[in-house]
């Protein structure tokens, strides 16, 4: 075919490049170029409804940090993370230790815990919205037996917690499955040795199981944190305005509103870049922290 293909080494190089080329080109066009473009946009004042872009350098960034809704959304997002990540993990660890305690029927429990993971978060959001409904919803029906009525999604105090509960419920099965893999990797001999030393029950969990699960727990906290930082769908469904009084607005939610409802593309690009920096920071922290574990 081609003359240079007669050389075997060059021939292999040719095929190697050919196989990786579609993917590389794709990432240049769909990831790297758009990322640079977003960075460029963040220095411009550009409303999609106007034609002209205006270079404003750092002005968008100054504005972001004076934007009350953005600051609230940043606060909310971290509040979500602080509620969801530890609480979800504690419940998941508790349940997976029980599942792993040597009982039969592990499969059926794992199966039931996992169902929310594979269902659409949008559909799940509506189902929970109905449970939370203040007048006709099931939760308040049940609570009325003891004469309590909660506002759930309707009050600034409880809205965030109500949404956080749904996210915990949705991801619990995923965490349990990963934890069960981690628990399964702990050799029986470790437990037997502990038993001979008289370490059982809570102390066995505290001083043996938990330390050995540490890498799994760190992995789940970091991935869980990332997921919460990018929370959007659940809020969009259960609190379409981000209310009451912006108490449920997350960063991505605010970005979506600014970009595709107010069409302020330059300004919202600046916000996405800040989100990127936060995620990058956590990733670097994770790499350092995890590689520190090995030494």
Partner 1 sequence: MLTRTQKVIIYLTLSIAAFLMVFPFLWSIISSFKFAHEIMAIPPTFWPENFTLTNYYQVFNSQGSQFGNWYKNSLICSSLVTASVCFFSALAGYSLAKFEYPHKEKIFYTILSTMMVPMQMLIIPWYIMFTHLKLNDTLIGIMLPGLISAFGIFLLRQAFERIPNSLVEAARLDGASEFTIFRRIMFPLIKPSVAALGIITFVGNWDAFLWPMIITDSSHMKTLPVGLQAFAGQFGVEFHLIMAAANLVVIPSIIIFIVFQKHIIGSIASSGVKG
Near partner 1 in 195-234, by CB under 8 A: 219, 223, 229-230, 232-233
Q: Rounded CA gap, 11 and 2, in Å?
A: 10
Nearest in space to 153 (alpha carbons), one of 165, 142, 141, 144: 165
Residues within window 154-173 making contact with partner 1, judged by CB under 8 A: 169, 172-173
- Give the nearest distance from C-beta 16 to partner 1 in angstroms: 3
Question: 51, 103, 146, 196: which one contacts partner 1 (CB under 8 A)?
Answer: 103
Question: 110 or 204, CB closer to partner 1?
Answer: 110
- Give the nearest distance from C-beta 258 to partner 1 in angstroms: 10
Site string for partner 1, 113-152 (x = CB under 8 A): xxxxxxxxxxxx-xxx-xx-x-xx-x--x-----------
Distances from the Cα of 13 to the Cα of 10, 24, 26, 27, 71, angstroms: 5, 15, 20, 21, 51
Does 61 contact partner 1 by CB under 8 A? Answer: no
- Give the nearest distance from C-beta 178 to partner 1 in angstroms: 6
Contact 250, 231 (CB under 8 A): yes
Rg (CA), the chain: 25
Q: Rounded CA gap, 142 and 150, in Å?
A: 11
Question: Does residue 137 sit in helix, strand or coil?
Answer: coil
Contact 79, 256 (CB under 8 A): no
Question: 127 or 186, CB closer to partner 1?
Answer: 127
Question: 43 or 128, CB closer to partner 1?
Answer: 128
Question: 4, 7, 35, 289: which one contacts partner 1 (CB under 8 A)?
Answer: 35
Does 191 contact partner 1 by CB under 8 A? Answer: no
- Give the nearest distance from C-beta 207 to partner 1 in angstroms: 20
Stretch that binds partner 1, among 62-70, 74-82, 186-194, 262-270 (CB under 8 A): 262-270
Total number of residues binding partner 1 (CB under 8 A)?
Answer: 87
Stretch that binds partner 1, among 65-73, 77-85, 103-111, 152-160 (CB under 8 A): 103-111
Question: 22 or 292, CB closer to partner 1?
Answer: 22
Query: Which are the contacts of 137, defined by CB distance < 8 A and separation ≥ 6?
Result: 130, 131, 152
Question: 66, 101, 189, 291: which one contacts partner 1 (CB under 8 A)?
Answer: 101
Nearest in space to 166 (alpha carbons), one of 126, 204, 220: 126
Does 19 contact partner 1 by CB under 8 A? Answer: yes
Does 64 contact partner 1 by CB under 8 A? Answer: no
Distances from the Cα of 204 to the Cα of 94, 149, 180, 191, 217, angstroms: 14, 42, 17, 8, 17
Does 292 contact partner 1 by CB under 8 A? Answer: no
CA trace torsion 91, 242, 35, 56 (10° rounding): -140
CA angle 205, 210, 216 (to 5 degrees): 145
Does 248 contact partner 1 by CB under 8 A? Answer: no
- Give the nearest distance from C-beta 165 to partner 1 in angstroms: 11
């Amino acid at each position: 075919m081609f003359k240079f293909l007669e050389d075997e080494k060059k021939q292999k190089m040719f095929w190697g490049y050919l196989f990786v080329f579609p993917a590389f080109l794709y990432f240049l066009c769909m990831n790297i170029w758009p990322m640079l473009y977003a960075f460029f946009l963040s220095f411009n004042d550009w409303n999609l409804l106007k034609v002209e872009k205006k270079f404003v350098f750092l002005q968008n960034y100054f504005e972001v940090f004076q934007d009350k809704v953005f600051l609230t959304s940043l606060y909310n997002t971290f509040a979500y993370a602080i509620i969801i990540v530890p609480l979800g993990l504690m419940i998941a660890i508790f349940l997976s230790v029980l599942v792993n305690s040597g009982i039969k029927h592990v499969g059926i429990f794992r199966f039931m815990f996992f169902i929310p993971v594979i269902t659409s978060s949008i559909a799940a959001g509506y189902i929970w919205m109905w449970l939370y409904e203040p007048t006709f919803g099931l939760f308040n029906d049940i609570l009325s037996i003891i004469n309590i009525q909660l506002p759930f999604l309707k009050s600034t105090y409880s809205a965030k917690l109500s949404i956080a509960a749904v996210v915990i419920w949705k991801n619990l099965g995923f965490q349990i499955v990963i934890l069960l893999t981690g628990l399964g990797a702990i050799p029986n001999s470790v437990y037997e040795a502990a038993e001979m030393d008289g370490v059982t029950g809570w102390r066995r969990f505290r001083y043996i199981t938990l330390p050995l699960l540490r890498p799994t727990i760190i992995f789940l906290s970091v991935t869980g944190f990332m997921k919460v930082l990018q929370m959007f769908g659940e809020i969009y469904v259960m609190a379409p305005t981000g209310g009451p009084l912006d108490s449920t607005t997350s960063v991505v939610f605010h970005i979506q509103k600014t970009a595709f409802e107010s069409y302020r593309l330059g300004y919202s690009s600046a916000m996405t870049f800040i989100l990127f920096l936060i995620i990058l920071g956590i990733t670097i922290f994770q790499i350092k922290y995890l590689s520190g574990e090995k030494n």
